[in-house]
Amino acid sequence: MKFNKPKDSLIIAESQIPFTSIKDDKELPSELIAQFELYPENIRRPVNKTLFKNDYFELKYNMKTKELAVSSLGDIVYSAIPYDTGRNYIQRAAIQYLLHPEEVRNYIEMHKGNLEQYIKLSMFQVTNKRMNKNNKEIEKAYNAIFQNPLFEIQILGRLLQHDETGPISANIAGKFLFSENINTGISEYIFEYLNFVVQLTNSLPVKTDGKRVEILETNQSERSFSNSRKRDGFLTYTSDIEPALRLISQEIDISVENSIIIAKQSQAVKAKPILRSKFGKEISVLRKNYVPHSVHPKETEKYFENVLSTENKNLLNVVSDVHSNDGKLPFINRNFNILVGDISDSQVADGDIEGIYVMGNHELVDVLPRSRKEFQEKKWKPFLKRKWFKQLLENPDESWYMLPVGNHKFYEVVKYELEQRFPRLKVLHNSHIIHEGIRYIGITVPVALVKRKYEQQKFILKTLKKLLNNDNEIPTVILSHAPLFNELNMLSMESNAYNSEYNCSEPKIEKLFKEYNVIGVIHGHHHIPASAGRSKIVKFADKDLFVVCSIYSNMNTGFELMDLISSKQSNKIIK
């Protein structure tokens, strides 16, 4: 399959696959449970148990979260480039290369103009000479991408990162010039990672896409499994990776054992991976003396073109945190859209887009008048002397924690202003709408008021009671810009933004979730990249709920909610 339509490509669509963790009430398959006994260290590990490992990587099972994850054992260095944030993208790219090397090539070639721009900037960093795109050295460096599969995988990973988070500006020579890249150790890391995941998926009933690891379904035949999962971007024991392995073996002189296992031999790799046990001191010094020279993506976007389609055909298109700064929506969807706040920073208006909208904290600033005269209008006068409103005008970033809870009259004004700009969108300000048999409740939670969570959760409880309206049967999805609380949140506990105090402290809210047919929640706010997953299943109020957080990027113009809705409805019918 070729990339005739970028948005329909496998690599782009891969990030839209819902993340599915292992449920609390689902035990590991017996063959995985047996693995615990193979590793004596599991005796003293109450949480993270080893299921499979080699010299450099291991598969761990978290006994609390019931999730599987591949991690390095700590000695192997992913990259000698200081603060290199591309590992998850490159691991994802490595899996895609194994599964679809030809599509990877097409995807990279689609970005040729942007790659030439990166190479030109890299050449300047190395030689201090400015070159145009037609320079032979630029062409030579571009062609070098396709002469080494491990470098090609890296380039794919960088492009995935570029498309998702914006242009890359730090250490670009080490990332885009093969001559500089060979000293980073990334190729050796990729080789060892590929070796591990291929052996893993052929040894245990699991699958991985380079970020997530999930258990294979056991209620399907091998043949039906292979057919149904052919395009979902996961490596399994049924994956046909022989074409990719042949390409890799031609360049880095490895042998292919049984056409499926990457076999390591003494001369298999031309260079050994960088190990902290041998080079830890040098790496620490390099990082300590590193002088950051990155540029904010917003300042460099003008030098790059967006080669991806801005239109998607999702039936229920969820997106948040667009932060458009040019007065226009940067994506197109002609079906039903669910906009979960922080859409505009430039008074965007669109008369065509249909769906529902909940306001975020940036809408509160975006709707404000641009002249003093307008502030004298009747609708603004009640707020002019409020401390939080003055702070909102002077320094919004210092005002968020001061905002009133979501039943304040100010939000009625914001709602009115948004509806003037988006006449075909229903702004759900503590209100609901029924669309195709699903009730969507929008609660105004622009920010997470951690220090005032009791007041906020009292408001959430009161609003839910009113809007659920004693209708226990209709499937219900709850929307808010900031998450309602940690239990229904996509934010990782490892994130600096995670606050353990923002938990559900109102048991009556949980009781409502039990009594009513709430099937899931949607939020935005935390700018969680698509590579981290945009949905998951959590257990709350003794039921499995989906949580969705779909942040906008060039690569992610929306999440298809219909798949989760349909899955929930199918499960109900089966039960």
Other C-beta atoms lying within 10 Å of the C-beta of residue 390: 14
pLDDT for 129-164, tens place per residue?
888 777 899 999 999 999 999 999 999 999 999 988
pLDDT for 429-467, tens place per residue?
999 999 999 999 999 999 999 999 999 999 999 999 999
Residues whose CB is less than 8 angstroms from the CB of residue 109 and which lie 6 or more positions away in sequence, other chains included:
none
User: Which comes out higher in pLDDT, residue 51 or 265?
Assistant: 51
Amino acid 74: pLDDT? 85
pLDDT for 5-19, tens place per residue?
333 343 433 333 333
Amino acid 574: pLDDT? 40
* Cα 282 from Cα 183, distance rounded (Å): 13
**Side-chain half-sphere exposure of 528, counting CA atoms within 13 A:** 28
In DSSP terms, which residues pair with 452 in a beta bridge? Answer: none
Residues whose CB is less than 8 angstroms from the CB of residue 250 and which lie 6 or more positions away in sequence, other chains included:
none
How much is the average pLDDT of 238-244? 91
Amino acid 268: pLDDT? 38
Q: What percent of the chain clears pLDDT 70, i.e. is strictly above it?
A: 86
Amino acid 32: pLDDT? 87
* Cα 476 from Cα 311, distance rounded (Å): 28
Could you tell me if 433 and 402 are in contact, meaning their C-beta atoms sit under 8 angstroms apart? no
Q: What is the CA radius of gyration of the chain?
A: 25
* Cα 94 from Cα 227, distance rounded (Å): 22
* pLDDT for 221 beyond 70: no
User: Which comes out higher in pLDDT, residue 230 or 365?
Assistant: 365
Structure tokens at 535: 């949905």
pLDDT for 401-421, tens place per residue?
999 999 999 999 999 999 999
pLDDT for 322-351, tens place per residue?
999 899 999 999 999 999 999 999 999 999
Amino acid 27: pLDDT? 66
How much is the average pLDDT of 169-181? 93
User: If you search the block for the tokens 């097409």, which residue do you land on?
Assistant: 106
* Cα 573 from Cα 478, distance rounded (Å): 22
* pLDDT for 222 beyond 60: no
Of residues 107, 86, 84, 33, the one with CA closest to residue 210: 86
* Cα 187 from Cα 97, distance rounded (Å): 14
Helices assigned H by DSSP within 367-476: 372-375, 387-394, 409-421, 453-468
| CA end-to-end distance (rounded Å), the chain | 38
User: If you search the block for the tokens 């049984």, which residue do you land on?
Assistant: 258
Exposure letters 463-489 (e unless 16+ CB within 10 A, then b): bbeebbeeeeeebbbbbbbbbbbbbbb
Structure tokens at 288: 């300590």
* Cα 418 from Cα 366, distance rounded (Å): 9
* Cα 515 from Cα 513, distance rounded (Å): 6
Amino acid 506: pLDDT? 96
In DSSP terms, which residues pair with 433 in a beta bridge? Answer: 440
The model's pTM is 0.76
Residue 400 DSSP one-character state: G
**Side-chain half-sphere exposure of 62, counting CA atoms within 13 A:** 14
Residue type for 62, please? Answer: N
Q: H/E element holding 106?
A: helix 101-110
Cα separations in angstroms, 472 against 435, 465, 509: 17, 11, 15
* pLDDT for 98 beyond 50: yes
Residues whose CB is less than 8 angstroms from the CB of residue 499 and which lie 6 or more positions away in sequence, other chains included:
448, 450, 486
Q: What percent of the chain clears pLDDT 90, i.e. is strictly above it?
A: 65
pLDDT for 49-92, tens place per residue?
999 999 999 999 998 878 899 999 989 999 999 889 899 999 99
